[in-house]
Amino acid sequence: MKKIYYILIAIATAGMTGCQSELEENFKDPGVYAPTTEVVSGMFTTLVSNGRTGFVNDYSDWWHQADAGGYLWYCELYARYYGTRYAWIADLVDPKNSYDPDGLQNTVFNVIYNNFKEMPLMSIELAKLSEEEQKDLTIYISLAELLFNTRVTWSVDIYNSIPYFNAVKGIEGVFFAEYDDPKEIYLSALDIVRKRSDELLPAYEGMSDDGKKKFATQDVIFRGDVRKWLSYADAMRLRLAVRISGVLPDEARTIISEVLSRGNLPTEDLEIEPQEWFRSNRSAGDGGTYRRGMRERDYAGFIPPLLTDIMSRDGKDEYTPGVDDPRMPVLFTGARGSDIATGLYVFRPVNMDCESATTLYDGGGGANGEYGYITDYNSYVDPERYITTNWYMCWNIATYPWNHDPQPVFTTGEVELLKAEIALKNLGNTGATAEQHIHNAIIRSTDYWYRHNAYNQWVGTGADPSPEVKQFLQPAKPDAAMIAAFADVVRNDYLQAADLEAKMEIIMQQKYVHLNVHNPQELFTELRRTRHPKLNPIVFNASTVIHTVINRIPYPQSESANNFEQYSKVIEQDNFTSPIFWMDKPDVSFYKY
């Protein structure tokens, strides 16, 4: 009977790769492996290459969340034009009527359990092999468990209590596990990530030469570079320890101190090299990543004012080199009024006051259409039209939807900002002051975004931009002195901030700028934890001001239908407002007013 079950598992595993045929060129499909020795490595590759359990931002999540009713709207990262003609905007005042949790429910809750269900089978298959064969494969077990335990913390961040200790035990006949204490899940996951990461170097050193070569192929994330996996593990532990520091300070300090002493934190950005299977390119399957989601939702891809409030230092729509944030030209596509020939950028955010906005563009975008926007984005329009037609700016189309850049796993800019908070709150000895880490983060972030912007080659856009448009959307990076001067300005703002919360505002502002729509899930979590940066509410009219960032996502309906006995024990927290366990100030407002 067990043999039959294993066959069914193998068939299911093969099915996961069927919709991503491009992957077959990069690694062997575990569904067609004949020898038992191939199953373990093949299953690992399936895990890390799947966007919903690995590292590539998932298309489905973006498709749901990048339109009205998703956390990207509520977190002031991504928006449509606002206006009273969109009566449904008023419904956003109540998340029960408007919030679309579908992408997160499928991406975070169900898929993590479904896609890791083979993990116990990997260990069973490994045990069948000889001692010599096992030496080449044990590293895959350690990495799979390491990855699972970083992913489940993501689920806790969205739901709070989730099945964990008895989850992924279908092979033992446990299909409906109980919900566990989120604090215990976090502490267990942090401990397991450390233990599994400690196994990596000895396991790698014990592999045969052929095993190492195969690992470099099967590991589609870091191509067999164990040091990068160690860096990822410790960076994740640092992030998670900071996250719990407000409610478990002693445990957090212990973990932070240990991570800082190990010397494994990344000194260069951890990334997945560009691969065809996550390209947003109509000639290559159109991808299955956030890039495709951005393109299909680009009518909603305008920039709310929060980021320009942070980055525009003179308060003008026109970008002023040497004064404004040097990352603006590679993060944003210039709005109408920009001059491609002279390199003048106009960065005009959407107006979140619906009545004021309506006076501008209701009835067709003004008398002469000057306040309008492109209505046929999804038809692969000429990139120049984004600049000459849109009254408001959107995310830079060279940097984001039409790019083929590496996928970020963990950046050094984020590491510096985590260290800034650690230094501010005396959670550990980082070797530098918080303001120095902020300065370093801006330097690292600027390098990161100009490097990623430069990767774009306009493949598959349906139009070949002119050299002038390419230069406008892919400008040269400012010199080091100009970047450092801007970093000095932000550092001085931090030093002059009145208290801890004012200083956290500046740290989180920089996290918003750096992570932006490359990692909005992390910003959604950090916003809920820190209550920074302060957001601008959506004002539908004088009587309807929308303050609806939520504390958590409701569980999928499948839980109440299929696992009601266990679900009934946590039903009281199944709403939008119950706090996640790491929230130490859940009643503090998210908003400026």
Q: Are 272 and 55 in contact (CB under 8 A)?
A: yes
Determine what percent of the chain falls in helix, strand and coil, rounding each to the nearest 5: 55, 5, 40
Residue 259 bridge partners (DSSP): none
User: What does the chain come to in residues?
Assistant: 593
Sequence-distant (6+) residues with CB within 8 A of 235 are 265, 266, 270, 410, 414, 415
Q: Residue 280 has what pLDDT?
A: 59
Res 67: pLDDT: 75
Query: Which two three-digit tokens encode residue 472?
Result: 């406008």
Spatial distance between the Cα atoms of 313 and 311, rounded to a whole number of angstroms: 6
What pLDDT does 10 receive?
37
Q: Give the pLDDT confidence score for residue 401 in this predicted structure.
A: 86
- Residues 70, 101: Cα–Cα separation, whole Å: 7
Please tell me whether residue 418 adopts helix, strand or coil conformation.
helix
Each residue's pLDDT expressed in tens, for the chain with a length of 593 residues:
333 333 333 333 333 333 333 333 333 333 333 335 578 998 898 888 776 677 777 777 778 788 777 888 889 999 988 888 888 899 888 888 777 776 677 668 887 888 888 788 899 999 999 999 999 999 999 999 999 999 999 999 999 999 999 998 877 888 889 999 999 999 999 999 999 999 999 999 999 999 999 999 999 899 999 999 999 999 999 999 999 999 999 999 999 999 999 999 999 999 998 877 666 555 454 556 788 888 888 888 899 999 999 999 999 999 999 999 999 999 999 999 999 999 999 999 999 999 888 776 654 555 556 677 776 765 556 788 889 888 999 999 999 988 889 999 999 999 999 999 999 999 999 999 999 999 999 999 999 999 999 999 887 677 788 999 999 999 999 999 999 999 999 999 999 999 999 999 999 999 999 999 999 999 999 999 999 999 999 999 999 999 989 999 999 988 999 899 999 999 999 999 999 999 999 999 999 99
Structure tokens at 19: 């919709």
CA distances from 572 to 13, 81, 209, 578 (A): 36, 36, 54, 9
Residue 432 amino acid letter: A
Q: Write down the pLDDT at residue 70.
A: 81
For residue 304, whether the previous peptide bond is cis, meaning omega lies within 30 degrees of 0, is no
Rounded to whole angstroms, the Cα distance separating 522 from 533 reads 13
Q: How far apart are CA 159 and CA 108, in angstroms?
A: 9
The pLDDT value recorded for residue 286 is 54
User: Residue 29's pLDDT is what?
Assistant: 39
Query: Would you say 126 and 141 are in contact if contact means Cβ atoms under 8 Å apart?
Result: yes
What pTM value is reported for the model? 0.92
Of residues 515, 487, 486, 491, the one with CA closest to residue 503? 491
